[in-house]
Structure formats: structure tokens, C-alpha cells
Amino acid sequence: MDRVFCILLVVFTMFSCSPKITSYSGEAAFTSQTGVPDYGKIEYWAAHPAKKDPSDTIPFPLRTEEKEKQADVFYLHPTTLLGTRENGNDNAKIDDPYINYKTDYSPIIYQASAFNENARVFAPRYRQAHIGMYSEKDSASKYAAFNLAYEDVKNAFLYYLKNENNGRPIIIASHSQGTTHATRLLKEFFDGKELSGRLVCAYLIGMGVRKDSYEKIPVCTDSTKTGCYVSWRTYRKDYTGEWVNRLDTSIVVVNPVTWKTTNEIADKSLQKGAVLYNLNKVYTKTQNSQAEGNALWVSHPRFPGSFLYRNKNYHAGDINLFYVDVREDASRRIKYYLLSK
């Protein structure tokens, strides 16, 4: 799925000038002596309030007077380790400058930034599993790769709780491989645990999350609920494939326009805005949307040049097609969370 993310991102962003993906150099690059992340050091965070980073980006039309950061977002990025898997390269090196640059200037700037209106953003670098591990037939190797990645995520979250949180409300946000780890993190730290009292919402996006994943954490059924989670995967309404089934009701699908799980079609007039490559442009009324079966179904999005876009899997646009909707929802849920305390 994350290979699809990177391929589609090219198409979604091809209508503006693209930064060349090279690598970090100079002060931005770092070398890990052990190859193991040390989350007490700022370089092991792709996003952190103590530094200026791409998650701080605000699309020009959305820039207003700076608002108080009343909560924290712990964001887990999708796979950026793609290409050929060579020499047993099942996981990313934590100090790989190319991977870190690609992470920061793809998901961090285009996804994590959606949550920065009323929250501080924390996004750890982690030794992500290679995209090929999703289809790996050796179950032991597959488990080892994803478990290594999760252990980094877990250690980052433990560091965050001990040194940064100070009792603040928490949003968990993730996409694709990030959601693979976030669903596990939510289970281990929040489900039936004391920490659930600090959970504003979990945005578990881009992977199918089963309705029976948690014993105590409910699905958010409207835009005012807190202590709950949302999830969706986006496809064009005429897409067919092994990942989707309109009759499968075992997977959570929340429509990010209505923030409901019901299957009525949300007209495009209700959609608040998409942000694609050009961060200084918000596109409104781009598509209808409907939660049905195990996926979110949308009409062909309308934006400049979209007639050239033929792919029907919108994995790369899971957040960006609803960027403003997500941004407003996160801020709204923070408000309702604080009002409930």
C-alpha cells in the first residue's frame, strides 16, 4: 500500500513544481553511532516542537492568528523505504539521509501538518519495515521487521510520555504503515488503560482496522466524540480489487466529511477542502464521499489537471483529499475534550 502512496503522490502533485528528492546535507544530516534511535536527541524526531520542521507548515489560505497548542499529536508516518530490498535490508537505517528527506518532505509536510492548528506535533523517526515486507512469505522475517519498527515507535512514545506530555491531551495520528504500528500502540497503551483518559482521538488512516480491535475504545460516530478512533481507506466509487468489498462490515469506515459511519453520500458541497502538492492552494468541493462496506468511496476528484488522473486507488490522498476536514475535526475534538474536563 505504501508503494501506491508514493506513486500516487507523484500524480497528485505533478501539477506544481516538485522539490528534488536528494538527501539531507550539512547540519540536517546526522550519523547514528549505534544504529538505534535515541529519542532524547532531536535528530531522531522528524517533527518536534523544539525545532522548526515541515510539520509546522500551514497552507497559505489557512493561515490565521496563531492559536494555543492545547494538545499533542503523536504522528506515525507511512512507508518511505521503497525500491529493491537488497542484502537483507528489511528495515530502514535510522540515519539514512535519503529516506529521512523523503519522509520529511512527503508525509510530514503533507499529512502531519494537517494536525498543527491547535496541537504540538511529535513524529519519531523509526526503523520502518521495507514495503516488500507486507508481502513477505517468511512469517518469521516479516514479524521481525515489523516488530523492530514497532519497538522504535513504542520507545519514542515512552520517551514522549516521560519527558514531553506532562498530562496533556493526546491525538494519535497515522497513515498506512504508521497505522500498522498505531493500532498496536493504541491497544498497548490506551485500551482499558489509565492513559485512555487523555485520548482525544486516534486517526488510524489508510489501513483496514477491524471493529473488534479494541475492548474499551469505541469508534467515533460523530464529530463531537472524544476518546474514540476513526479510520478510512479511499477509493474511486468504481474501483474493484481484492482490498475492497462493499458487503464487508467488519472494518471501520468513518466518512471524513460527515464524521459518521453511516452510508449516506456526502455531497461534495460539504467537503471543506483538499490540499495537494501546492500548499498555498486549497481545493474545495472536489468529490462526493460515501462510507460503505470496508472502504470510503469517492467520485473522481476535481482539481486542475485531474482529468489526466486515471488511477482509482486514492491511498495517497487519504488525508490530503480531506485535509481541511481533518484539520478542523482535530481542533473541534480538542475543544470538546477540554470542555468535558
- Predicted confidence at residue 17, as pLDDT, reads 30
Report in angstroms the alpha-carbon separations of 305 from 13, 15, 225: 10, 7, 37
- Residues near 133 by Cβ (< 8 Å), separated by ≥ 6? 90, 141, 142, 145, 146
d(CA 89, CA 87): 5
Bridging pattern class, strands 228-230 and 170-175:
unpaired
pLDDT at 10 exceeding the cut of 60: no
- Predicted confidence at residue 13, as pLDDT, reads 42
- Predicted confidence at residue 86, as pLDDT, reads 73
Rounded to an integer, the average pLDDT of 5-23 is: 40
d(CA 101, CA 240): 34
What type of residue is 103?
Answer: T
Paired residues of 202 in beta bridges: 172, 229
- Residues near 270 by Cβ (< 8 Å), separated by ≥ 6? 257, 258
pLDDT at 198 exceeding the cut of 50: yes
Task: Show contacts of 102-108: CB within 8 Å, 24+ apart.
Answer: 102/21, 103/46, 103/77, 104/46, 104/53, 104/54, 105/19, 105/21, 105/54, 106/6, 106/9, 106/80, 107/77, 107/78, 107/80, 107/175, 107/178, 108/46, 108/47, 108/53, 108/54, 108/55, 108/75, 108/77
Q: Where are the domains of the chain?
A: 2-339
For the chain, what percent of residues have pLDDT higher than 90?
A: 84
Rounded to an integer, the average pLDDT of 212-226 is: 98
| DSSP codes, 299-318 | PPP-STTGGG----B-GGGT
- Predicted confidence at residue 80, as pLDDT, reads 97
pLDDT tens track for 157-173: 999 999 999 999 999 99
Q: Which residue has the higher pLDDT, 85 or 140?
A: 140
d(CA 135, CA 89): 15
- Predicted confidence at residue 28, as pLDDT, reads 65
d(CA 240, CA 90): 30
Rounded to an integer, the average pLDDT of 27-33 is: 82
pLDDT at 205 exceeding the cut of 50: yes
Up-side HSE of residue 245: CA atoms within 13 Å toward CB?
9
Rounded to an integer, the average pLDDT of 14-20 is: 33
Helix, strand, or coil here: 275?
A: coil
pLDDT band at 16 (very low <50, low <70, confident <90, very high): very low
Q: Could you tell me the maximum CA-CA distance found in the chain, to the nearest angstrom?
A: 54
- Predicted confidence at residue 341, as pLDDT, reads 86
Rounded to an integer, the average pLDDT of 216-236 is: 98
First-to-last C-alpha distance (Å) of the chain: 39
pLDDT tens track for 178-196: 999 999 999 999 999 999 9
- Predicted confidence at residue 102, as pLDDT, reads 95
pLDDT at 3 exceeding the cut of 70: no
Strands in 139-195 per DSSP E:
170-175
- Predicted confidence at residue 23, as pLDDT, reads 46
